Structure 1
């Protein structure tokens, strides 16, 4: 059965540079924070360490991405 246009639209990211969360270097920290929430019956106060770890990872990931793109130009 052939896939409809709406189904094929979701098979790849809308933009070539778009990435999946699972491709992020912070995916393990993200998954750990969700697991903590699940294990603690969604008591956020018990998962502050995991949230902090994920937040710091996202900061580091952003800094790396900014450094990689520092010399790229939108006008070239």
Structure 2
């Protein structure tokens, strides 16, 4: 037979511990929209490496998530992020707003370079 509960536990627990909650933890409305962060990552004005990201994702899907077969795509994405990050740092130093060029400005920058730097 189990030992009786200590005298401190004979009284009901505070409401905080045993009352059912009306708010479900982790529940959120299903609106059919992407979360804000995911939407921002899909915006070509914010994400300069959207094409490279999509290419690496497609590669992973195509080759059943064999990372070795997609290493060229990963490297291209990594170099893209490095390149645009360096542009963003330089623009921030120069006081240019916004620090990340828009998609149209990025096209002009890439055309001026003549070839893809990554």
- Unaligned segments of structure 2, at least 5 residues: 1-27, 96-118
In the TM superposition, residue 25 of structure 1 has moved relative to its aligned partner by 1.5
Per the normalisation by structure 2, the TM-score is 0.44
CA separation in 1, counterparts of 2:77 and 2:59?
12
Q: Which 4+ stretches in 1 moved above 6 angstroms?
A: none
In the TM superposition, residue 47 of structure 1 has moved relative to its aligned partner by 0.1
Match of residue 82, structure 2, among 55, 59, 69:
59
The structure that has the greater radius of gyration is 2
Partner of 2:111: none
Count residues in correspondence.
Answer: 61
Choose between structure 1 and 2: higher helix proportion.
1
CA separation in 1, counterparts of 2:40 and 2:84?
14
Q: Give deviations 1:1-57, integer Å, cap 9, x for gaps.
A: xxxxx87xx88x69xxxx922221200000000000000000000000000000000
Higher relative contact order (CA 8 A, sep 6+): 1
Query: Where do 1:1-76 residues align within 5 Å?
Result: 20-22=40-42, 23=44, 24-72=47-95
